[in-house]
Structure formats: structure tokens, C-alpha cells
Amino acid sequence: MQVLMGGEMKDVVVSTEYLDLDTMQIVEISNEAHEFKYRDSRFCRCKDIIISSKIKLAKGNKKEIKEQMDANIRSRREKQPVNFPNAGSTFKRGKDFITSIIIDGCGLKGYNIGDAYISDLHAGFIINKGKGTAKEVMLLIEHVKTVVYNKTGKNIELEIEILGED
């Protein structure tokens, strides 16, 4: 099994040990019990705390693996705004659309509220070009969701998880 960019944790996780906050017991579950789906697992729907996961990676030629890792890093640098602080991909891919393409199509690349910007490189990322605040990011997220819905009728969902309100 070779996992390249685009691979998923469901393909490599063997088991996970976590603290069940209801029972305060440490529990170990198998891959299947994770209920993996696109950008989702049982841990997205609870407050349990993951302690560790056992993963199984494929064996391979060290030189070929290093070349693939380097290619993945180059691709990420070319396609994602790694030169600015960001929380990664802000919005989930839609069921029948690529969210960043829709955001770009709505003319939102480069749109900003304060120092929070829709990346010019990849419209699925919100970047901080200085002293952007959480409030600016939240206002920008709501603006993007509203514009996309008004122009396309598509509801876009967050990929990031908001913890707290301020």
C-alpha cells in the first residue's frame, strides 16, 4: 500500500487509543470503529481525547519514497499559500463541486477583511497577512459563505473546526 498526496488516514490507521471522557477509561479501537468518511471520523462527533494511533505504512525504496516526498512538498508550495500563516484548507469539498473553484469563480480571491484574506494562490485558504484577528477571519468566512450561496445556490461547509467565539 502506497499513500501519496490525496491519501487518507483510513488507509493507514490500524488502531487508536483514546480517553473516553464519559467513563474516564482508556479505550483502544480498530480502524473500522473509527467510522472514517471524507474529513470525518467518530472523533469529530465527540470530545474524547486521542492518546495515540498505530499506523501501518508501506515498505518501499528509500530513494523513491524521498523523491515522492520532495515532489509532494514542491506541489504543496506551488498550490498552497505556505508563505503566510493559515489554518489549512478552510472549506470542505462539496459533493458535486470543488469549493475553491467556486470561491474563485465568485471573484473572491484576494478579498479581505482587515488582515484576513482569501488567498490569491488557492481560494480555499484564508491567510493572515499581518495582524488578522479571529473576528476578521470569522467575518470573512461568513462573507464567503453568503456570496457563494447568493451567486451559486451552494452551501459550503467549514473544514476547520471553530473552538470558542472570540
Given 17, 39, 64, 77, the catalytic residue: 39
Angle at CA of residue 13, ends 66 and 125, nearest 5°: 65
Active site residue 100: no
Given 15, 35, 42, 159, the catalytic residue: 159
Side chain identity at residue 129, one-letter code: K
d(CA 56, CA 122): 32
Percent of residues in the chain assigned helix, strand, coil, to nearest 5:
35, 25, 45
CB 95 within 8 A of CB 52: no
Active site residue 89: yes
Closest CA to 26 of 42, 46, 1, 50: 50
Active site residue 159: yes
Given 89, 100, 119, 136, the catalytic residue: 89
Which residues are known catalytic residues? 39, 89, 159
